[in-house]
Structure 1
Amino acid sequence: MILIGAHMPIGGGFKRVPKETYEIGGNAFQIFPHNARQWKANTPKAEDVLEFKRRVKKYTLNEESMLCHSGYLINIASPRDEIWKKSLELLKTEMKICSELGIKYLNIHPGSHLGTGEEGGIKRIVQALNEIFEEENNVIILLENVTKKGGNIGYTIEQLDKIISLSKYPERLGITFDTCHGFDAGYDITNLKELDKLLKNIDSLIGLKKLKFIHLNDSKYGLGSNKDRHENIGKGEIGIEGFTRFLNHPIIKKIPWILETPGSNHAHAEDIKLVKKLINDLEDHKK
């Protein structure tokens, strides 16, 4: 059985997420641990945590199907000391929130070196992660692949591997692969030969066991565009045929899929319905 869900709203509390995940046809989800556009983050109240966990159990979700996504302001690759320190402290708070909610994984963008160079940016990322892991030991951080723009670090698998390899705590790190970001960065996931090549590269450098989630997004722009503009499934440049090949790969089917496509819960329900159809149609064709 595939695990699939979407990035879910948390306005009004975390407790709404499990039920709304079920209502859109999902059995996995991603949330922000706080308002993603603010530096301020509060840990949840005890009664809210208890109700959230009760509903997680009711809707048969588990730690391998739940993911938090870090806030937009965090940049642990920043050469600016004030931003780096604020990012570090906010990331620590996010990990505490994840731990209290019983969410095992926190997804982050590695960060941007802001034009000061990849080597220094990676050094700052590793320094931040090492400090965080010395304080918090319940949460695994997943590094998400990004597009090559604005000094971003993590647009190649090799860059993600370098961060993990340099960390004092490689066992506390994994990765998330975003289909839009990967496609925009030049990984042609619509081509089975190229997809196999990508997965072999991940396995040889990082290990497939560290590939914990896939962000399932179509792309408004073409292969190698480095634009990072998400589109609903089948309506972008990856397209229906591309996703049919990607989604039915035996390795890809084992990894939880999280939609970050445009629109509300209703739009996500439609995307989930389409994704399931793409899998079932191919399986029916093989019979």
Structure 2
Amino acid sequence: MIRIGAHMPISYGFEKVPQMTIDSGGNTFQIFPHSPRTWRATMPSNKVSQEFQNQMKKCDLPLEAAFCHSGYLINLASPKDDIWQRSVELLIVEGKICQFLGIPYLNVHPGSHTGAGEKVGIDRILKAIDRFLASVDGVMLLLENVSPKGGNIGYEIDQLAQIIKMSCDPKRIGITYDTCHGFDAGYDITTKDGVERLLEQIERALGLWRVKMIHLNDTKAPLGKPLDRHENIGKGFIGDKGFINFLSFEQIQKIPWVLETPNEEDLYTKEIAHVKSLVGLI
């Protein structure tokens, strides 16, 4: 089964997300565990957690089809002690929210060293991850590949592999592959050879089993330009032909696809239908 969905709002309540996903034509989703632009996160009530899980069952959505994305303020690579400390503390709360709701995956950008250098940044990331893993059970942390700009760490597959292998518990860490960020970093998915090279690199460095989610985004930037600007599917430099190529691979079809494109007015209903049309589902 191909799983496709989008980033869903939580402003109506966690328990409303499963039905909104189904109504949009999706069968997987991503949410924030709290308002992403604040340092504040609170645990949902027992009632909300139970109703969320009830709605997942009612909508025939397995919990494995649910993903959380960490807040925007978190920077696990920050050389500033106060920012790093707050980032780790918030990530742990986010993990516990996932745990309480029954969501098995929490996605996070590895972070930016903000000029301090990759070695410093990676050391900080590793300490943050190890603290998270020691504090949160039953939740897999997903490291997302990022655009190579602003001191970001994790724009290359081998960087993600290095972090995972050096962590205290590598089996509890997976990855999310973002098509826009990957294109920024020079991973060309518009050709068969390009996708094959990407899959081979992931398999060699990490194992494809670690890829638990794909952020399906077109891009406003040409290949190799680190702009980090998402575009609607088919309207960017990857284009419909590029996505038809990328999504045709059996390995890719086994991984949930989650849209983070600008078109969210209708909860991605048209965008989901468009992606389905590219792979012959409608």
Question: 1:204: Cα distance to partner?
Answer: 0.6
What residue number does 1:203 align with? 203
In the other structure, the counterpart of 2:16 is 16
Count of aligned positions: 282
Contact kept in structure 1, 2:141 and 2:173, CA below 8 Å? yes
Deviations 1:15-61 (CA, angstroms, capped at 9, x unpaired): 11000000000000000000000000000011111111110111111
Q: Give the letter aligned to residue 279 of structure 1.
A: V
- Give the SS at the match of 2:137: coil
Q: Distance in 2 between matches of 1:263 and 1:191?
A: 26
Q: Distance in 2 between matches of 1:222 and 1:266?
A: 28
Q: Which moved more, 1:269-278 or 1:36-45?
A: 269-278
CA drift at 1:12: 2.7
Matching residue's letter, 1:131:
R
Superposed, which structure 2 residues align to 1:112-261 within 5 Å?
112-261=112-261
Q: Partners of 1:106 and 1:121 in 2: how far apart? A: 20
Moved more, 242-251 or 33-42: 242-251
Partner amino acid, structure 1, of 2:87: S
User: What residue is the counterpart of 2:103 in the other structure?
Assistant: 103
The CA RMSD over aligned residues, in Å, is 1.1
Q: Which runs of 4+ in 1 moved over 2 A?
A: none
Percent of aligned pairs with the same residue? 54
- Please report how far the alpha carbon of residue 265 of structure 1 lies from its aligned counterpart in structure 2 after TM superposition: 5.0
CA drift at 1:5 = 0.4
Letter matched to residue 65 of structure 1: A
Provide the C-alpha distance between the structure 1 equivalents of 2:69 and 2:41, rounded to a whole number of angstroms.
13
Please give the alpha-carbon distance, in whole angstroms, between the structure 2 residues aligned to 1:194 and 1:2.
22
State the secondary structure of the residue aligned to 1:214: strand
Looking at structure 1, the residues matched to 132 and 184 of structure 2 have their Cα atoms a distance apart, in angstroms, of 31
**1:5 corresponds to which residue?**
5
Gaps in structure 2 of 5+ consecutive residues: none
Q: Answer whether contact 2:56 2:63 (CA < 8 A) is retained.
A: no
Determine if the alignment matches structure 1 residue 266 to structure 2 residue 266. Answer: yes
Partner SS, residue 279 of structure 2:
helix
Cross-structure match for 2:59: 59
2:147–2:185 CA contact under 8 A, matched in 1: yes
Tell me whether 1:47 sits opposite 2:47 in the alignment.
yes
Contact 2:88 2:128 in 1 (8 A): yes
Distance 1:110 1:63 in 2: 24
CA contact (8 A) 1:8 1:265 kept: no
For each residue in 1:59-116, what CA deviation from the matched residue of structure 2 results, as whole angstroms up to 9, or x when unmatched?
1111221100000000010000000000010000000000000000000000000011
Which letter maps to 1:268?
Y
Give the aligned residue type for 2:52.
Answer: F
- Tell me the distance in 1 between the aligned counterparts of 2:56 and 2:175: 24
- Contact kept? 1:24, 1:265, Cα under 8 Å: no
Which deviates more, 21-30 or 265-274?
265-274
Question: Partner of 2:277 in structure 1?
Answer: 277
Q: TM-score, normalised by structure 2?
A: 0.98
Please tell me the residue identity of whatever aligns with 2:160.
L
Distance in 2 separating the partners of 1:210 and 1:103: 17
Counterpart CA distance in 2 for 1:6 and 1:31 is 9
